[in-house]
Chains A and B, each alone.
Chain A
């Protein structure tokens, strides 16, 4: 079974703090690791993605750290804001010319309190 394990299930962070969500995967053939943000009543929206040839990628307040040998990757949200309160999903896939079959983690519900 190809799995992506995500933790924690829920997270409460103070405004201005750092939110950290971790994921671990099993299939070494995966070469595309995106993070999605989902608000209630909406579909997931791509936040940031990384490929295994780099160990870190930063876009604004969002950073992915990737550890290929440990088969782990994590999302860091710096200066967390109440508007970041949402469910976050990590995922993994092989990327074949834009063809994906994402295996998702179970999600982390983030609450940022003022």
Chain B
């Protein structure tokens, strides 16, 4: 069974640009969540999508947005990038059976 796939693995962007990250969940998982991981703040919840609807949202500015498609694949977008957005962005998927998340390996975003 394939795991959670995130693309690309690495990205370098310039301050002020926008970026889109992609996540393919485990087959059959309909819930997809996104987390930001930085050395200073640790792992922080961004948002969760289920059946194409945002179900939960963390405490991040509106520059961070996401969406989910009918095949459960998800994308997150960050507009007007700031240096502080440099982080590892992790996608996680889960089923409805209470067995927790499976995380992908993440996308390492560097803003210069």
B96 touches A97 (CB 8 A): yes
Q: From residue B29, how far is it (CB to closest CB) to chain A in Å?
A: 9
A101 touches B100 (CB 8 A): no
A95 touches B101 (CB 8 A): no
Residues of B within 8 A of A69 (CB): none
- Per the 8 Å Cβ criterion, residues 32-87 of A in contact with B are 32, 34, 36, 41-46, 49
Of the candidates B42, B56, B97, the one whose C-beta lies within 8 Å of that of A98 is B97
Residue A13, interface by CB 8 Å: no
Given known A-B contacts A43-B104, A105-B42, A99 and B58 have beta carbons under 8 A apart: no
Tier of interface size on chain B: 20 to 34
Q: From residue B44, how far is it (CB to closest CB) to chain A in Å?
A: 8
A98 touches B45 (CB 8 A): no
A104 touches B43 (CB 8 A): yes
Residue of B nearest to A6 (CB): B42
Residues of A within 8 A of B50 (CB): 99
Residue B106, interface by CB 8 Å: yes
Residue of A nearest to B96 (CB): A98
Main secondary structure of the interface of A (DSSP, over half): loop
Q: From residue A42, how far is it (CB to closest CB) to chain B in Å?
A: 5
Of the candidates A43, A99, A103, A106, the one whose C-beta lies within 8 Å of that of B103 is A43
Residue B61, interface by CB 8 Å: no
Residue of A nearest to B55 (CB): A99
How long is the Cα–Cα vector from A19 to B33 in the complex, in angstroms?
30
How long is the Cα–Cα vector from A107 to B42 in the complex, in angstroms?
8
Residues of A with Cβ closer than 8 Å to B? 32, 34, 36, 41-46, 49, 89, 91, 95, 97-107
Pairs A–B under 8 Å by Cβ, sample size 18? A34-B100, A36-B103, A43-B4, A43-B90, A43-B92, A43-B103, A43-B105, A45-B103, A46-B101, A89-B43, A98-B96, A100-B33, A100-B100, A100-B101, A101-B33, A102-B35, A102-B45, A104-B42
- Beyond the given A45-B103, A98-B99, A100-B100, please list 13 additional residue pairs across the A-B interface where CB-CB is below 8 A: A32-B98, A32-B100, A43-B92, A97-B98, A98-B31, A98-B96, A99-B50, A100-B33, A101-B45, A101-B48, A102-B35, A102-B45, A103-B45
